[in-house]
Chains A and B, each alone.
Chain A
C-alpha cells in the first residue's frame, strides 16, 4: 500500500478538483452556462482548456511509450498534435465563433443543422456519431488511469477506475464547462510544469540529449532518422498521420466545441501560436524521455515489466530511477491524472451536451424547458462516466488501440461536413449526410479490418501503407463532392447567415 505522503498528495488533488466543481456549480443558471460556460472564457483559460482537452492521459504515457518503441520517426506526433489546436482555431474556430454568437449555437451540431438546413437528420446523425466516437475515446482514456493508480497504490483495477471516475464525474456533472475549464486550467499547468521539470531530469540521468541520440542510433540507425524505411512511420504513413492528428483531433466534438465558449474572437489572433509553442515544447521533452528510457533499458539501468505494452511504463520506471523519492512519484501520478481527467471531463460533458441538447431538446422534445435539459445533461454525464468505466473494468484487448481508432473515426466522420460546410457554398445537406455516414461506416470497417489483420478482396489490411482513417476520409470527400453536385443547393440566405465561402472571416 502507498505511504501517507502519496495518499495525501493525490487526495489533495482530488479535493481541489471537487472544490472547483462545487464553486462552478454556483455559476450555472442555464443550459448555455452549463454547456458553453456562458461564452465567457478568456485567453489563457481557452488555451489551457484546449491543451488539456487534446492532451489525454494515454498520450502522456503513450507519447514516451511510442518514442521508446520507434524512436525519432514518431516525433512527428509532437509536431502534428500541437498543430491540431492551431488548425481547430484557424479553420473552424474563427468562423464558427462569429456565427455562433449571433445564431446562439451551443454545440457544433447546431451549426451543421443550420448550415445544411437539416434540423433533424444531420443533427441526429452527427450527435449519434459524436456520442459513439466520444464513448470509444472515453473508454480508451481509462487505460492511463489504471496504469498509474495501480503502479502507485497497488490497488485493484476496479478501485482505481472507480476513484478517478467518481471524482471526474462529480465535478463535471455539477459544474459543467465552468468546472471543466477551471479544472483544465489547473490540470494543464500541473501537466506542463510537471513535464518541463521531470523530463529533463530523466534525460540528464540517461546521459543527456546527445548521448541518448547516439546510443539509440547505435541500437538501430532507423531510430534516429525522421522516418522509417517502410510500414508505420514511413513517409506515406507520416502524411496520413499528419491529416489524422491535425484535422482529426481538430474536428473531434470534445475539442471543437471549445471554440464556442471563448469570450472574444480577438483571442484567436495569438492563441494558435501560443498553444503550439507550449504544447510542442512539453510534448517534445516527453517524447524524448521515451528515447532516454530506451537508452537506459538497453544499458541495463532498469528493466520494464514483461507485458505487451511495456513501452507505456517507460516514463514511470524512468522517474523511479531518476527521482528515487516517493513523494515525487505521487506528484507524477497527479500529472498523469491531470492529463487523463482534463480529457475525460470534456468528453463526458460533450456526450451530455450531444444527448440532452441535440437529441432530446432539438429533436425529441423541442418544447422541453431549460431546467429539464440541464438536469438531463447531468444525468447523461453520470451515465456515460459509469457506462464507460464498466467497459474499462474488463477491457477489450484492443483498448489502447481504441484511442487511435477514435481519432480516425472522428476525422472520417466530421472533417468533411465541417470543412465543406464552412468553405464550399456548393456543399448540400444530402452531400453532408452521405459524407458523414459513409465516413463513419467506412472508418469503422477499415479500422477493424486493419486491427484484426484481415485479408479481404485481395487486400492485406494489416499492411496498408496509410493510416486506415485516410481511406475513409477520401471516401467522405468523394461522397460530399459527388452527392452535392447532384442535389439541390442550400438557400443563399442560409449560406450568407453561416458565412460560407473561401475566407476565414468577413
Chain B
C-alpha cells in the first residue's frame, strides 16, 4: 500500500493509533484539579 512494504504501514500505523487511543483515553478520564 502507498508503495511501502506492509511492515512499514503496520508498525507505524499501530504505534500512531495506540498513541492516539492513549491520549483520547487520557482526555476522557482526566478530572483535573485546581
Contact of B31 among A83, A225, A272, A505 (CB under 8 A): A505
A-B contact pairs, 25 of them (CB 8 A): A72-B12, A75-B12, A79-B19, A90-B26, A98-B34, A210-B3, A211-B3, A213-B3, A217-B5, A224-B3, A224-B8, A226-B7, A226-B8, A264-B34, A265-B33, A266-B32, A266-B34, A268-B30, A269-B27, A269-B30, A270-B27, A272-B26, A273-B27, A276-B19, A276-B20
A209 touches B3 (CB 8 A): yes
Q: How does the 8 Å CB contact mask read for A121-165 relative to B, with 1 for contact and 0 for none?
A: 000000000000000000000000000000000000000000000
A72-B7 Cα distance, complex, nearest whole Å:
12
Q: Is A370 part of the binding interface, using a Cβ–Cβ cutoff of 8 Å?
A: no
Task: Determine how close the nearest CB of chain A comes to the CB of B14; give it in whole angstroms.
Answer: 10
List residues 1-34 of chain B with CB under 8 A from any CB of chain A: 2-5, 7-8, 11-12, 15-16, 19-20, 23-24, 26-27, 30-34
A212 touches B12 (CB 8 A): no
17 further contact pairs, Cβ within 8 A, besides A72-B12, A79-B15, A224-B5: A79-B12, A86-B23, A94-B32, A209-B3, A210-B3, A211-B3, A213-B2, A224-B3, A225-B5, A226-B7, A226-B11, A265-B33, A273-B24, A273-B27, A276-B19, A505-B33, A506-B33
A101-B33 Cα distance, complex, nearest whole Å:
11
A212-B3 Cα distance, complex, nearest whole Å:
8
B3 touches A214 (CB 8 A): yes
Interface of chain A: mostly helix, strand, loop or mixed: helix
Chain B residues with CB under 8 Å of chain A are 2-5, 7-8, 11-12, 15-16, 19-20, 23-24, 26-27, 30-34
A276-B27 Cα distance, complex, nearest whole Å:
13
Please, which residues of chain A bring their CB within 8 A of the CB of B11? 226
**A72-B8, A79-B12, A79-B15 known; A217-B23 Cβ under 8 A:** no
Q: Which residue of B lies closest to A506 (CB)?
A: B33
A327-B3 Cα distance, complex, nearest whole Å:
34
Q: How does the 8 Å CB contact mask read for A81-105 relative to B, with 1 for contact and 0 for none?
A: 0010010001000100010010000
Task: Determine how close the nearest CB of chain B comes to the CB of A107; give it in whole angstroms.
Answer: 21
B34 touches A280 (CB 8 A): no
Chain A interface bracket (under 10, 10 to 19, 20 to 34, 35 or more): 20 to 34
Q: Is A277 part of the binding interface, using a Cβ–Cβ cutoff of 8 Å?
A: yes
Task: Determine how close the nearest CB of chain A comes to the CB of B30; give it in whole angstroms.
Answer: 4
A501-B31 Cα distance, complex, nearest whole Å:
17
A90-B3 Cα distance, complex, nearest whole Å:
36
B27 touches A272 (CB 8 A): yes
B2 touches A280 (CB 8 A): no
Please, which residues of chain A bring their CB within 8 A of the CB of B33? 94, 98, 265, 505-506
A94-B33 Cα distance, complex, nearest whole Å:
8
A430-B12 Cα distance, complex, nearest whole Å:
41
Q: Which residue of B lies closest to A280 (CB)?
A: B16
A87-B27 Cα distance, complex, nearest whole Å:
13
Please, which residues of chain A bring their CB within 8 A of the CB of B4? 72, 213, 217, 224
Q: Which residue of A lies closest to B16 (CB)?
A: A79
List residues 179-217 of chain A with CB under 8 A from any CB of chain B: 209-214, 217
A269-B2 Cα distance, complex, nearest whole Å:
34
Q: Which residue of B lies closest to A504 (CB)?
A: B30
Q: Which residue of A lies closest to B3 (CB)?
A: A213
Please, which residues of chain A bring their CB within 8 A of the CB of B7? 225-226
A225-B34 Cα distance, complex, nearest whole Å:
46
A86-B2 Cα distance, complex, nearest whole Å:
29
Please, which residues of chain A bring their CB within 8 A of the CB of B2? 209-210, 213
A344-B25 Cα distance, complex, nearest whole Å:
34
Q: Which residue of A lies closest to B15 (CB)?
A: A79
**A209-B2, A226-B8, A226-B11 known; A83-B19 Cβ under 8 A:** yes
